[in-house]
Structure 1
Amino acid sequence: MHVYIGGAYNGKRNYVKQHYQHKVQHLFEGHIPEDTVFESQDVIIIGRFEQLVQQHAHLTEDEIVARLMEKLKQLDRQATLVCICTDMGRGIVPLEKEQRFLRDTCGRLYQAMFAHSEQVIRIWYGIPQIMKEE
Structure 2
Amino acid sequence: MGIFNKIFSSSSEEKEEKVLPWIGLTSVAQLEDIEEKSKIKTQVIFKHSTRCGVSRMVLKQFVSAYDISETDLDLYFLDLLNYRDVSNETGYKFQVMHESPQLLVIKNGVVVAHASHGSINSIHLDEFVGS
Give TM class, smaller chain. Answer: 0.3 to 0.5
- Bigger radius of gyration: 2
Give me the TM-score of the superposition, normalised by structure 2.
0.35
Give me the TM-score of the superposition, normalised by structure 1.
0.34
